[in-house]
Amino acid sequence: MKKLIIRGVITAAVSLAIWIIISLVVGGTGFNSTYHLESVEIEHRIMDDGTMEVHEKINYLLVKPYRGIYREIPTGRTKYSDIKVWTEGMNYTKIQNFSTANSLKLKVWLVPFNGSPREPSEGGDRVTLHITYKVQEAVEEGYDVAQLFWKYWGEDWEQPVKNLKASFSFPDYVNPIKIYTHPPADIKRESNTYWLQWKKFPAKTFGEVRMVLPKGVFTVSDSGRYTLEDIEKIENDYSRKVMLWKVNLPLILLGSSILILFLLFYFMGREPRIDYNALYERELPTNDGPEFINAVVKNLCTGVDNDGLGACILNLYRKGYLDFNVDSKKGRIEGIILKKLSGGDLSSAELQLLQFFSRYAIDFGDRKIFDFSELKSRFRKNQKEARRFTQELRTWKSFIKAMIKERKYLLSTGAGLSKLYALFLMAFSLFALFNVANSYEINFLFPVARYVYGLFWGVGAVVLTLPVDVFGRWTKKGREYYLKWKNFENYLKDYSLLSEYPPSSVVLWEEYLVYATALGVADEVRKHMNKIVPQELWEKEGGHMYMYYPYGLHVSRDFGSVVSTASAASSSSSSGSGAGGVGGGSGGGGGGAF
């Protein structure tokens, strides 16, 4: 259980780190931006003739070398006039106005024109940009109502705003019929002025209002082809979309995850009851080979790993079929010496592995040596041979897996279904993140989506890496088999028990070390053994010396370097105007610093 918890925590941490990287890439970081936006206040005053006077007050904090600041509103249906610009807190040197009748484009130099960037002081330089302008045809009349459909903030700002405040003031005789905001926001009213305020308004997100007004109250207005019913349909669709991605989908995912995972565990993951209650096994529970035990017990019937391969090699060494070419100074095995290739005490798996070594061994006099360095050099030069080596080793592992399948120890259907659902959960989380980030209407939800769907991503990652027996189930025979070998492993790891009831001979110690290697606890058991069995006694009883020292038990690591080289070589490439949809309001744009 402790290992399972640690494994879950590590998986969650790694998946969280991956998700953070993905979300930063998808949503943009803005870490290298020249400026921050401390606060923004925008006042809109709607006049009797339907024009609108705007005053923008944008407070910049310049944190990297800068030359000036700018503000842009893209071309739209409205017209701009009477543009005035000034700064507060820092004098400007030049204002460049590239605006047209239907767009706003201003560049404010804070250093001499075309001069070198200025280094900000510690903590940044503050400057407030003031812009005032008039908007003609701000109010548009439809068939039965009029509307002020306006973006008070645009999606082209790369930095969030710590405090954003927008106000809309109407003549006393004008009362909006309905007010819609994108993103949804609370509106406060003071006399005939309506306020919206945001804390930490997201970057790359627009702020927009649609104020539905009585028709005919303004003397001059633009005309559009829409009705109140058209507006309500658009706004209802928008509200449903926001609710879907912000509330409904997360709740559906949460409920389905709890239900599906519970049902999978309840019907396919609960272990059967068996009549076995021992705490330890002091003798080998079965006569199966160490590679088989590794595949069943350590890897839960999923296959042989390097420990299982190393244990099989150690067993052949113990039986006298091979020896090791050891570099004692470096503390590692550099090759396998083949002494004989057949014998009556060999299992099918051991015989196949010996024959596999023989096919890649080279002759040194009357001996055949499976030399690690020579093989790695060959594989780097000969991709075809590397692929054949990898395929033959895979065939040997498949042979072990087929033996496991015949025993029918573990029913893995539930595990397979849980992993499929985990993949779906992770894929959908990615889809949701990309969809929200790239959706013009709901990208303001990105900060929320990053956390909400990140949670489901993490759940999927943890479920995907859970051991197969969490949602899979042992058969009664398999459960007893597994528990007996786990209890044997507990015996090997328990120094007090091992010292009180040690193996009766060096021969048994060697056999236990082979299986300790298969179970992944060889280093721990060897340390216990070195305390219990002196080297002199080991030598006196004719023990294999390379099993007494750590590098003999690390044969799986040293042989694994050959496998890694072959895998890398074999896989390397050999060649080289209706009512207006949400976000369609006039205004908006962006700005920044340069």
For residue 582, the model assigns a pLDDT of 56
Which domains are assigned to the chain?
Answer: 36-245 (2.60.40), 290-409+475-569 (no CATH)
- Whether the CB-CB separation of 313 and 352 falls below 8 Å is answered with no
For residue 572, the model assigns a pLDDT of 61
Stretches in the chain below the pLDDT threshold 50: 574-576
- Whether the CB-CB separation of 209 and 179 falls below 8 Å is answered with yes
For residue 405, the model assigns a pLDDT of 93
The angle formed by the CA atoms of residues 219, 223 and 226, to the nearest 5 degrees, is 125
357 membership: H or E segment, kind and range:
helix 348-360
Report the number of secondary-structure helices (H) and strands (E) in the chain. Answer: 18, 23
Token output for 28: 């943009």
For residue 352, the model assigns a pLDDT of 96
pLDDT in tens, 523-559: 899 889 888 988 888 888 877 888 887 766 678 888 8
For residue 574, the model assigns a pLDDT of 45
For residue 140, the model assigns a pLDDT of 86
CA 580 – CA 149 distance, rounded (Å):
8
pLDDT in tens, 382-417: 999 999 999 999 999 999 999 999 999 999 999 999
Sequential DSSP letters for 431-493 = HHHHHHHH-TTTGGGHHHHHHHHHHHHHHHHHHHHS-HHHHSEE-HHHHHHHHHHHHHHHHHH
pTM for this structure? Answer: 0.77
